[in-house]
Structure 1
């Protein structure tokens, strides 16, 4: 990890208009949790809907998309990445540094609000707040790596990422049983299920399958992003 690259990445991520969206997403989750707490007779029964489907299924991938692509895609689009690539830094250092920033931002803006929303909805009942937070942490890591790869691989990263987040994760991953095996949300829910009290959380993917898939997606996406970034360097030299 390179401290200078990390500092510049954080400054660029928070300095753009996307920084506003980064605050809107967790605020929306907390707002829904508070409304449910005040209006529902049994708000704890809404945990699966609010924290699972809305939080992990929709808001988390959108947030991770903004962060994951934001740490590098804009630099590639406006050409400023050239100045970074001109430095004597290994390309994998650049990628891992930007991934570290993306993961940290996703954890801060998604996992922490999930924990607070969970405590608002159901307190410490069945360990749901902690369980969904853990699921958000691991799913957020995989999403960050995946969307960082999209940011390096295509100039249409946001469009492709939105298609994946809204169509696959929010719709297909929630309502089509066979497709849930390839859903990052379901992998995160599997981790959450293993932490919560038995029967409190449902997941269609076994933990022994979910954990390896989370690791494979995170590692493979990071490696491919480093290779792709190296390809950009070669293209610039030719």
Structure 2
């Protein structure tokens, strides 16, 4: 289910000047770090793993997911313009799925390509490290988009809560606290990176790959479904 008009309006909202600058700043920072590390340390598989895993996958991907996921719908709900969209003869699932596709497209574009390029700069994709993290970022982008799109439908402070989740839960607890890692999108996607990379790449996840796939699928499907339910409830409230 996809509506070109809804998609065009969502892309325009997400890629406005202010959000575009924010979306570009994190990938640009990643590339600057990659160039600096390569210039100072040369080819280093360990450095590549730490930068792509510790900064890119743990911080950059969820932050961009917050911007794209919440930005796809939260501003329209906050300023009331969603009413005009809901007044059109469009299925609510089509609206949510279209916005999800847009959020996924933006998140993937601003994460996977910079991560792949940074990995190539750092170690030339030695041991498939760049490929592994790029694929992991793509998968994580799908789950983050669904989760943060849902957050945009349930809270007027979606960006704040999203940033708390991205910076505290994913970047801090998801990396350091063993128990929290099991419930971290970062760790779920890292399980896929571990499988793709060579054995000597030193990429490990606390979650087994089958479990990670189930959790990623569940977060995406349930997040999308409940976002649709929230939008339907909003429609009913407006009708009343």
Aligning the two structures, in what range does the TM-score lie when normalised by the shorter sequence? over 0.9
The match for 1:162 is: 163
1:165-210: per-residue Cα shift (whole Å, max 9, x none)?
1110011010011211101001111001110101411111100110
> In the aligned structure 2, how far is the partner of 1:8 from the partner of 1:162?
24
Q: Does 1:104 align with 2:105?
A: yes
Tell me by how many angstroms 1:44 deviates: 2.5
Unaligned runs of 5+ in 1: none
Count of aligned residue pairs for this structure pair = 238
1:229 pairs with 216, 228, 231, which one? 231
Pairwise CA RMSD: 0.9
Q: Does 1:206 align with 2:208?
A: yes
TM-score (norm 2): 0.97
Tell me by how many angstroms 1:41 deviates: 4.5
Instruction: Say whether the 8 Å CA contact 2:52–2:133 is kept in structure 1.
Output: yes
The match for 1:117 is: 118
Task: State the SS of the aligned residue for 1:215.
Answer: helix
Tell me by how many angstroms 1:43 deviates: 3.0
The match for 2:149 is: 148
1:3-52: per-residue Cα shift (whole Å, max 9, x none)?
11001110111125122101111111111111111112553221222100
The match for 1:127 is: 128
TM-score (norm 1): 0.98
Task: State the SS of the aligned residue for 2:15.
Answer: helix
Which 4+ runs in 1 deviate beyond 4 A? Answer: none
Task: State the SS of the aligned residue for 1:17.
Answer: helix
Tell me by how many angstroms 1:57 deviates: 0.3
Unaligned runs of 5+ in 2: none
Tell me by how many angstroms 1:105 deviates: 0.6
> In the aligned structure 2, how far is the partner of 1:72 from the partner of 1:220?
17
The match for 2:91 is: 90
Sort the Cα spacing of 1:112 and 1:206 in 2 relative to 1 into closer, same or farther, 3 A: same
The match for 2:197 is: 196
Task: State the SS of the aligned residue for 2:75.
Answer: helix
> In the aligned structure 1, how far is the partner of 2:113 from the partner of 2:42?
25
Tell me by how many angstroms 1:157 deviates: 0.3
Instruction: Say whether the 8 Å CA contact 2:74–2:158 is kept in structure 1.
Output: yes
1:64-109: per-residue Cα shift (whole Å, max 9, x none)?
1001111110011111100000001010100000000000111110
Task: State the SS of the aligned residue for 2:182.
Answer: helix
> In the aligned structure 2, how far is the partner of 1:20 from the partner of 1:36?
24
> In the aligned structure 2, how far is the partner of 1:126 from the partner of 1:42?
12
Tell me by how many angstroms 1:153 deviates: 0.8
